[in-house]
């Protein structure tokens, strides 16, 4: 264990006293991120003002041999910013300047602590916005979005954070400042930008982010379709995508999620709905109008018993209010809940939702489903009461079983919340040893000392050196089978 006092002294000299926190009460503020299930008080918090100070903190950590964890607004849901008790937490919240907005080249350059929604606010007067929209966009930071490759309801059409970041300035785990990517797409050399985005702080700390701005659409139209159950709503989702329409968003809520939303915000969704879809189209007015009629027809054909079309922005906001409040609203109908995050092939939606229902029954818990139906990104909310003995354990087991289900269907253990501290244990379920070894190669190249957010993403911490578990010559390499290509036309 390093001498925290000495480290604090060095950091105060480099950053100034008010940028270094060692008071135990103040440190407690940073003990967890949005996943409050895990809590660890860091030894020290540093709040660097710029890339140079960030590099100074990282170099001090390397010299002292202590781990460091970067944190933006702390809204993450996988424990990616969970501190180490003997480590430094690097909080980027004070780097929050929007450095440039350039509509002609459709780019903005921002510091990592800038709030997601503030990029859009700066771009809107120019006719642009920043497309990725996590539910937490009013508070989450761009740096955190980069670390977690954050998504959002509208990423169905527009893609995740990785599709909107064209350049980064980063501090590498040995304390150097380097640039990945730039203003233009697809520069020569290795695309390490893509590897960095979503690396959850294990490859370094982003200190400047160049993002693509998206033109505000000419038209936006939103409908709310009520179905008797999730089977019909799932079928409608598949029919819409199958028809070649790519809505900006297709969101689904099941009966329990609707019940929670009504209890919390009285959103007035159609009575008796077993599931609702919110479908939003945006783009050129001519295209939106034509496709909107098609979406309406496909919802009707697949069993929608009521379809409401937002007449204006106010009504559109009301449709979204229920959806956006759903996570928090669950607190109205259950004392505790786990937010799960997994992905399945969209075509399997009805079947997987039925099996989630079966899992809920067999585990004796309730599960509410609120999710990005268009891209099969499930967010089951597993409800429980921590005051009832055994319920938390049953909820945890049900939540894990849902992830098993996602893997069984050839999906993913996380859609947009990241692996973090929470899901590292599942990684070997999704990747072969060879796959993980290849990732480890890159991690060790950037961070041979293993000090950049250790314990996150990867299942077993191991020392860098020889490629572990690699066979050579004695037996032929095994080909890792890729699951889930059932039903494909095979030649």
- Residue choice 94, 124, 296, 432 for contact with a copy of itself (CB under 8 A): 432
Q: Going by C-beta distance under 8 Å and a sequence separation of 6 or more, which residues neighbour residue 44?
A: 4, 7, 8, 11, 20, 21, 22, 27, 87, 88, 89
The yes or no reply on residue 160 touching a copy of itself (CB under 8 A) is yes
485 sits near a copy of itself (criterion: CB under 8 A): yes
Q: Pick from 68, 72, 70: which is nearest to 84 by CA?
A: 68
227-235, 264-272, 386-394, 405-413 -> range binding a copy of itself (CB under 8 A):
405-413
Q: Does 177 participate in binding a copy of itself (rule CB under 8 A)? A: yes
Q: Which of residues 62-101 bind a copy of itself (CB under 8 A)?
A: 63, 97-101
State the number of binding residues for a copy of itself (CB under 8 A).
Answer: 109
Our CB check for a copy of itself shows the closer of 118 and 332 to be: 118
Nearest to 317 by CA among 325, 328, 329: 325
- Which helix (H) or strand (E) segment holds residue 15: the answer is helix 4-15
Q: Which stretch binds a copy of itself (CB under 8 A): 24-32, 137-145, 328-336, 416-424?
A: 416-424
- The region of 132-140, 302-310, 379-387, 409-417 touching a copy of itself under the rule CB under 8 A is 409-417
End-to-end Cα, the chain, rounded Å = 59
Q: Is 390 in the site for a copy of itself (CB under 8 A)?
A: no
- Locate 238 and state its tokens: 């598949």
Return the residues of window 201-260 that contact a copy of itself according to CB under 8 A: 203, 210, 215, 218, 242, 244
Least gap, CB of 386 to a copy of itself (angstroms): 28
Buried b (16+ CB within 10 A) or exposed e, 277-315: bbbbbbbeeeebeebbeebbebbeebbbeebbebeeeee
* Residue 22 C-beta: closest distance to a copy of itself, Å: 23
Among 123, 131, 135, smallest CA distance to 154 is for 131
438 lines the binding site for a copy of itself (CB under 8 A): yes
Task: Provide the minimum distance between the beta carbon of 26 and a copy of itself in the complex, in angstroms, as a whole number.
Answer: 28
At its nearest, how many Å lie between a copy of itself and the CB of residue 190? Answer: 5
Selection from 431, 427, 365, 428 nearest residue 399 by Cα: 365
Q: DSSP string spanning 116-157?
A: HHHHHHHHGGGTEE-----TTTTT-BHHHHHHHT---TTHHH
* Residue among 65 and 284 whose Cβ is closer to a copy of itself: 284
Asked if 295 is part of the footprint of a copy of itself (rule: CB under 8 A), the reply reads no
DSSP 302-352: TT-SEEEE--SHHHHHHHHHHHHTHHHHGGGT-SEEEE--EE--GGGHHHH
Q: Is residue 49 a contact residue for a copy of itself (CB under 8 A)?
A: no
478 binding a copy of itself? (CB under 8 A)? yes
Q: Which of 4, 31, 117, 174 binds a copy of itself (CB under 8 A)?
A: 174
**Residue among 353, 420, 346 nearest 377 (CA):** 346
Task: Please report whether residue 465 would count as binding a copy of itself according to CB under 8 A.
Answer: no
CB of 66 to a copy of itself, least distance (A): 17
Residue 42 near residue 88, CB atoms below 8 Å: yes
198 binds a copy of itself (CB under 8 A): yes
Q: Which stretch binds a copy of itself (CB under 8 A): 255-263, 297-305, 353-361, 413-421?
A: 413-421
On the 0-12 / 13-18 / 19+ scale of CB atoms within 10 A, 78 is buried
Closer by beta carbon to a copy of itself, 220 or else 439: 439
Q: Considering only residues 74, 303, 418, 455, which one is a binding residue for a copy of itself as defined by CB under 8 A?
A: 418
- 444: tokens are 């060790």
CB of 420 to a copy of itself, least distance (A): 10
**Which of 2, 22, 86, 187 touches a copy of itself by CB under 8 A?**
187
The rounded distance, in Å, linking the Cα atoms of 303 and 298 is 9
Residue 137 token pair: 């966009």
Tell me whether residue 265 or residue 444 sits nearer to a copy of itself (CB atom).
444
Q: Which stretch in 161-169, 272-280, 331-339, 378-386 sits in contact with a copy of itself by CB under 8 A? A: 161-169
Interface with a copy of itself (CB under 8 A), residue from 380, 446, 452, 453: 446
- 18 vs 472, beta carbon nearer a copy of itself: 472
Using CB atoms within 10 Å of the CB of residue 349, give its burial: 0 to 12 exposed, 13 to 18 middle, 19+ buried.
buried
When binding is defined by CB under 8 A, the residue of 382, 414, 451, 455 that contacts a copy of itself is: 414
């Amino acid at each position: 264990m390093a001498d925290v006092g000495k480290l604090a002294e060095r950091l105060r000299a480099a950053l100034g006293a008010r940028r270094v926190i060692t008071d135990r009460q103040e440190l407690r503020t940073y003990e967890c991120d949005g996943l409050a299930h895990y809590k660890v008080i860091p030894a020290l918090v540093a709040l660097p003002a710029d890339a140079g100070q960030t590099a100074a903190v990282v170099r001090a950590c390397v010299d002292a041999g202590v781990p460091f964890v970067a944190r933006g607004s702390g809204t993450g849901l996988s424990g990616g910013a969970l501190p180490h008790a003997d480590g430094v937490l690097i909080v980027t919240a004070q780097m929050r300047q929007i450095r440039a907005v350039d509509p002609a080249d459709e780019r903005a350059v921002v510091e990592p602590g800038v709030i997601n929604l503030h990029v859009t606010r700066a771009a809107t007067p120019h006719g642009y916005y920043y497309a990725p929209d996590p539910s937490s966009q009013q508070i989450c930071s761009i740096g955190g979005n980069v670390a977690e490759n954050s998504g959002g309801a509208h990423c169905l059409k527009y893609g995740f954070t990785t599709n909107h970041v064209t350049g980064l300035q980063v501090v590498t785990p040995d304390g150097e400042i380097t640039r990945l990517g730039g203003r233009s797409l697809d520069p020569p050399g290795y695309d390490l930008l893509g590897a960095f985005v979503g690396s959850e702080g294990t490859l370094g700390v982003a200190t400047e982010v160049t993002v693509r701005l998206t033109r505000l659409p000419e038209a936006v139209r939103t409908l709310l379709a009520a179905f008797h159950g999730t089977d019909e709503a799932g079928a409608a989702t598949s029919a819409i995508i199958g028809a070649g329409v790519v809505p900006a968003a297709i969101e689904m809520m099941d009966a329990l999620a609707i019940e929670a939303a009504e209890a919390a915000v009285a959103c007035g969704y159609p009575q008796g709905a077993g599931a609702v879809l919110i479908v939003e189209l945006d783009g050129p007015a001519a295209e939106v109008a034509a496709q909107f009629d098609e979406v309406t027809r496909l919802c009707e054909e697949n069993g929608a018993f009521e379809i409401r079309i937002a007449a204006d922005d106010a009504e559109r906001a009301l449709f979204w209010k229920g959806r956006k409040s759903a996570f928090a609203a669950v607190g109205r109908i259950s004392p505790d809940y786990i937010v799960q995050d997994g992905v399945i092939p969209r075509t399997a939606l009805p079947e997987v939702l039925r099996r989630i229902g079966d899992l809920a029954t067999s585990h004796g818990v309730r599960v509410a489903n609120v999710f990005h139906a268009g891209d099969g990104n499930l967010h089951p909310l597993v409800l429980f009461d921590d005051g009832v003995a055994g319920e938390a354990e049953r909820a945890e087991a049900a939540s894990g079983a849902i992830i098993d289900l996602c893997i069984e269907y050839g999906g993913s253990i996380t859609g947009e919340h990241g692996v973090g501290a929470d899901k590292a244990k599942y990684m070997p379920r999704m990747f072969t040893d060879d796959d993980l070894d290849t990732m480890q190669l890159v991690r060790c190249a950037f961070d041979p000392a293993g000090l950049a957010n250790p314990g996150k993403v990867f299942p077993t911490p191991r020392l860098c050196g020889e490629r572990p578990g690699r066979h050579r010559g004695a037996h032929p390499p095994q080909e890792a089978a890729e699951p889930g290509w059932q039903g494909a036309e095979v030649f």
